[in-house]
Amino acid sequence: MKTKIKEKATDMFLNYGFKSVTMDDIANAIGISKKTIYSSYTNKTALIEDCVMNKICTINNGIDSLIALGKNPIEELYDIKRYVMSHLKDEKTSPQFQLMKYYPKIHENMKSMQLNKMQKCLVSNVERGIEQEIYRPNLNPEFIARIYFSGINSIKDQKLFPIERFPISTLMDDFLEYHLRGIVTEKGEDILNRIINSIQQ
């Protein structure tokens, strides 16, 4: 039952927002009493934390599977972006913004896990890109990884990028292209242009 509660709650939180969904909403959606939920989770915060951490583990495992395919680093970043976007629901509810505002401790823990994961993935991505001569040879992989992570988090700030003017899917595409154009070689630029053209067709 705990797994069923977690799966349904995660889906609802991502669809409608962490603040908007109540324990009553979750209980009604599953067809159980609220007391049953409280037998597994002491409060809503504990449920949210379990849902968030479980979702991050799922995404991390998916990212590992994509990296294992051994594609070139530029294609890999686009594949990861698509995969992560597929785990986002209705962008208008901005679940991450609600998490940051109403559950800051959980948000900080999530960011810390994301940083650890992204740091390893991105440093490896840059190093392989340099080896394959599609990224510039004078790059500092750790700096590039951290500046990318910082940028990804900045574009989620709705004060800077109001969702009405900057839909998240377009914003992610624009940011990834902006990032890559700053680090690719001429050989890498050919690959990047080919990927962008295939997306636009």
Q: Which tokens hold the place of 168?
A: 């998240």
Amino acid at 181: R
- Are the C-beta atoms of residues 148 and 175 closer than 8 Å to each other? no
Neighbours of 157 (CB within 10 A): 11
- The yes-or-no verdict on residue 1 having pLDDT over 70 is yes
In tens, the pLDDT along 112-139 reads: 998 889 899 999 999 999 999 999 999 9
Structure pTM?
A: 0.88
Q: Which tokens hold the place of 192?
A: 């990047």
What pLDDT band is residue 76 in, cutting at 50, 70 and 90?
very high
141-154 and 168-181 are packed helices; what angle lies between their axes, rounded to 10 degrees? 160
Query: What is the Cα–Cα distance from 70 to 150, expressed in whole angstroms?
Result: 26
In tens, the pLDDT along 145-175 reads: 999 999 998 988 888 998 889 988 889 999 9
Close Cβ partners of 60 (under 8 Å, ≥ 6 residues apart): 113, 117
Q: Where are the domains of the chain?
A: 52-200
CATH number of 52-200: 1.10.357.10
- The yes-or-no verdict on residue 178 having pLDDT over 70 is yes
Close Cβ partners of 121 (under 8 Å, ≥ 6 residues apart): 63, 67, 80
- Residue-level pLDDT at 134: 98
Burial of 189 (0-12, 13-18, 19+ CB in 10 A): middle
Query: What is the Cα–Cα distance from 102 to 99, expressed in whole angstroms?
Result: 5
Q: Residues 119, 120, 122, CA angle at the centre, nearest 5°? A: 65
